[in-house]
Structure 1
Amino acid sequence: MLTYSFEHRQGESLYEHLYRCIRQDILQGRLSPGEKLPSKRTLARNLGISVITVEGAYNQLTAEGYCESRPRRGYFVMAVPPRKLSVADKGKQGRKQVLSEGADSVSCIDLTANRLQPADFPFALWSRLMRQVLSRQEAELLERSPGQGILALRQAIAGHLQSFRGLNVAPEQIVIGAGTEYLSALLIQFFGRDKRYGLENPGYERIRKIYQANGADSAAIDLDLQGIKLADLRAAGVEILHISPSHHFPTGIVMPVRRRYELLDWAAESAGRYIIEDDYDSEFRLTGRPIPTLMESDVHERVIYMNTFSKSLTPTIRISYMVLPRALVVPFQEKMGCYSCTVANFEQYTLAKFIGEGYFEKHINRMRTTYRRRREMFMDLLQASSVREYVTLIEHGSGLHLLLRLAVDMPDKVLQEKLRAADIRIRALGEYYAGEVPARAEHVFVLNYANLEEKEVRQALAAFARCLSSDECLASV
């Protein structure tokens, strides 16, 4: 029977501490692949904790690929390759390293929009911080920003990554830019257009267009239910891989730990291979704790971490950042140091205060609660409507969108036109594919619920009901 102490949790919740203990036993081989874990009730009784706590730990382990749930049989340990200590882990042991799109009309309900309701943005606080920057940092505002961004913001981001994502990085590794598209273009110029870049298929179409616009040799690599397959990666001759392992857009897939280690080992095989980790929507995993980053597990320093404040604050604040491996800092500065930072000092200093004074963490916690309530509202209204007869939900407990599989016979474009006539805008999953769309993606639609009000959800579901109830729409189910 598994036995763990809960006396020295250091602020961790019970379920998170239990999750870490079991994960450690799996990684160190004390729990063997295929071994059955104790039932939730048995383990809860043995440890003197609640069944809900055990369930939370088991669900997190399952989400990350450390174990699997078999119906009516229980939870079983998955095979996970042993790992060396990461650079961050070594740092914790005492070795410190220091380095010198929108709606067509106002009335249209846009289920694809990545926008924020005005009440969700902390306008009063943001304006107060802006006034403080203007009155107290006049000299700094007129100084030229370093190419990688002002030091204060890079320090604040480094602190945030340490506390929220468990990444021990130096400010010198961080590069600030106006959007992940700009940062991706910088990396293409840094590595070279002659490199072979691998992109997820389906994937975020704007990233694909950025690679094309910069003349990069790119390949769309198809996904299975766990992400990009190593065999396909090798067959395409990819050297630089751009992925979103913690929450893929648009499918919502969370890459399990075994697949992550396969990709990290692939990157370590050749000196010129790197992985660009787009940590899309990582702040808004609504069930369980955030999925660990790929960079955290990277012992060979081949991962470039990338994130943005567009989802966590607002898309109109064009501030993104990436974290370079230590070995790339100096080469990047030498080759790309001619570029100026594309974010104004004023916005950088304001965001630095917002993060450094703890407001960003509070904002994320508040918005996570807000989005969870909107998700529950959408689910409740969906279940109460006639649309539920035609809909299968596909989600992975993460991010601000989900997939709807509709039981219809008509082509996706025809249904979209019918919905557009009812002032409802929605995108089909097939639109995110490069090349041929597989049959499994047909009649699947991407829905962003984060910015919807109750009246909009009711209106959208009513429009869906009218379209789906027509004779030409119904599938033979």
Structure 2
Amino acid sequence: MDMLMLKLDKSTEKPLYEQLYLGIKDAIIHKQIDVGTKLPSKKKLAEFLNISQTTIEIAYSQLIAEGYVASKPRIGFFVEEIDELPFIEKEMLHLPVAKAENKLYQFDFLPGKIDTDSFPFSLWRKYAKNIYDSNSKELLQIGDPQGEFALRAEISKYLYQSRGIVCQPDQIVIGSGTEQLLPMILRLLGSNLKFALENPGYSVIPKIQLQNSAISIPVDENGLMVDELEKTNANVVYITPSHQFPTGAVLSATRRTQLLSWAAKDENRYIIEDDYDSEFRYIGKPIPALHGLDQNNKVIYLSTFSKSLMPSLRVAYFVLPSTLLQRYKETFHFYSATVPRFDQHILADFMRDGYFSKHLNRMRKIYRKKREKLTQIFETFYPNVQITGDQAGMHILISVPLSNREEQLKQMAAKDHISIYPISDYLLSPIDYKDPTFLLGFGGIPIEDIEKGIHQLMNCWGISKSKVLKK
């Protein structure tokens, strides 16, 4: 063929190889070069265009990679047949780009935020680097639908050591969050569910396959009121016994026994135990998991690494009673694990070498100091603000002596660049609180900013400092 008649502009910022690649590609797409045509050799084209052979090689390589050109060793480069393109390539129009709305708050008291400054990035990077290697090429294939055995084995060991749960890796199912795993549990338990929830409770639960059918059970300072549960026709109850969300109440020993007895009275009754942040208890010994006390295979244990490691990891899991294993395998034999295999192995290795436990111990101390700082500020400057649920977790509840509605106070805080979360967001059915009550998460706020954040919040609500003098 005649030498390619391409104009290259050496005065622009666009690289010469890119200009050459785009020129040949455009000519092929618009049939200006016939299929099967042999392109000039790199040497000849370089001499003709007065550019380097390297530039020609880069352009040809890109054309080969995209399927426009084929290379035949020791023969040359030939134009390939291409399918009709699904779109016509055009120069980018300079249109205004819509920006995603992302409200930035000076202080965000979201309960789910963690202390990002304390994450062990260097260690995590080391384990990620080790696993992203050609020796791990098997991980490119689809893995076990229940999750990687290595991670399930580490979770099994961890649950035995920290929560008193005896289970085999085969009983564990890994998924990308409570929102993904709970529908699986509900489907596993059958269609005739009468589902009971704590009130107040985890707000996303009623939205998952329940709509308005859930039965609300009140909570007091001793956790779920099992007497009220027994009055209903519920056969499945979702509960956060170690640190009730959002009140922080711990299910008392008496009620634990009562709840397990309730479940044992009917073969179709089950307890879903969400142990979402049991690692962070600051006073006394850890509260035993209900699953560890269960003798009748009635508790499905559910937990996550969102608080203990990072929310963005999207790794959660449930532990099935052995009696439900066969039903699970029959129901979900076609499922695939929703967490990438590489991420699972990074976490498994991190746990295997003891770094997860070390990280938890460190974070427990950090969150304890933050909690102490938070409560000390209220006790010192705002003694009329009632604090509850402060013995565990990464948030407390505050009740403020104001006549405003919670939504009004939330908007007042937002105008002052503070995000605050009213307990009414977590109600399944109405509860009449004496004073406006809010969740105050402290995990994501640097300890040196906590005092300023509290003072700014109280000030925007018109609550003055009234420093308590020490006797």
Map of 2:165 onto structure 1: 167
Map of 1:323 onto structure 2: 319
Compute the TM-score of the two structures, normalised by the length of structure 1. Answer: 0.73
SS at match of 1:194: coil
Q: What is the CA–CA distance in structure 1 between the aligned matches of 2:285 and 2:102, rounded to whole Å?
A: 37
My pick for the range that moved more, 372-381 or 319-328, is 372-381
1:116 maps to a residue whose letter is I
- Identical residues among aligned pairs (%): 35
Q: What is the CA–CA distance in structure 2 between the aligned matches of 1:344 and 1:256, rounded to whole Å?
A: 38
Extract unaligned runs of 5+ from structure 1. 1-102, 472-477
2:249 maps to a residue whose letter is I
What per-residue deviation string (whole Å, max 9, x for no partner) do you get for residues 401-455 of structure 1? 1011111122222222211111111112222112222234x41111001121245
- 8 A Cα contact 1:112 1:426, kept in partner: yes
Map of 1:431 onto structure 2: 425
Q: What is the CA–CA distance in structure 2 between the aligned matches of 1:217 and 1:443, rounded to whole Å?
A: 28
- 8 A Cα contact 2:248 2:389, kept in partner: yes
**1:279-428 mapped onto 2 (5 Å cutoff):** 279-385=275-381, 388-428=382-422
Q: Which has the higher helix share?
A: 1
RMSD: 2.1
- 8 A Cα contact 2:282 2:392, kept in partner: yes
SS at match of 1:259: helix
What per-residue deviation string (whole Å, max 9, x for no partner) do you get for residues 30-54 of structure 1? xxxxxxxxxxxxxxxxxxxxxxxxx
Map of 2:122 onto structure 1: 124
**1:207-286 mapped onto 2 (5 Å cutoff):** 207-212=205-210, 217-286=213-282
Query: For the structure 1 residues 460 and 166, does the alpha-carbon distance in structure 2 shift closer, same or farther, using more than 3 Å as the test?
Result: same
**1:101-112 mapped onto 2 (5 Å cutoff):** 105-112=103-110
SS at match of 1:322: strand
- 8 A Cα contact 1:390 1:468, kept in partner: no
- 8 A Cα contact 1:390 1:408, kept in partner: no
My pick for the range that moved more, 374-383 or 275-284, is 374-383
Compute the TM-score of the two structures, normalised by the length of structure 2. Answer: 0.74
2:237 maps to a residue whose letter is L
- 8 A Cα contact 1:194 1:217, kept in partner: no
The structural deviation recorded for 1:132 is 1.2
Q: What is the CA–CA distance in structure 1 between the aligned matches of 2:213 and 2:328, rounded to whole Å?
A: 21
The structural deviation recorded for 1:113 is 4.7
The structural deviation recorded for 1:396 is 4.4
1:204 maps to a residue whose letter is Y
Map of 2:141 onto structure 1: 143
Q: What is the CA–CA distance in structure 1 between the aligned matches of 2:104 and 2:460, rounded to whole Å?
A: 22
Map of 2:443 onto structure 1: 450
- 8 A Cα contact 2:375 2:387, kept in partner: no
Q: What is the CA–CA distance in structure 1 between the aligned matches of 2:125 and 2:175, rounded to whole Å?
A: 22
The structural deviation recorded for 1:463 is 2.3
Map of 2:80 onto structure 1: none
Are 1:181 and 2:179 matched, yes or no? yes
Query: For the structure 1 residues 253 and 290, does the alpha-carbon distance in structure 2 shift closer, same or farther, using more than 3 Å as the test?
Result: same
Map of 2:195 onto structure 1: 197
SS at match of 2:250: coil
SS at match of 2:399: strand
SS at match of 1:212: coil
SS at match of 2:204: helix
My pick for the range that moved more, 107-116 or 236-245, is 107-116
2:433 maps to a residue whose letter is A
The structural deviation recorded for 1:465 is 3.3
SS at match of 1:338: coil
The structural deviation recorded for 1:355 is 0.8
Q: What is the CA–CA distance in structure 1 between the aligned matches of 2:350 and 2:134, rounded to whole Å?
A: 15
1:415 maps to a residue whose letter is L
Extract unaligned runs of 5+ from structure 2. 1-100, 465-471
- Deviating above 6 A after TM superposition, structure 1's stretches of 4 or more consecutive aligned residues are none
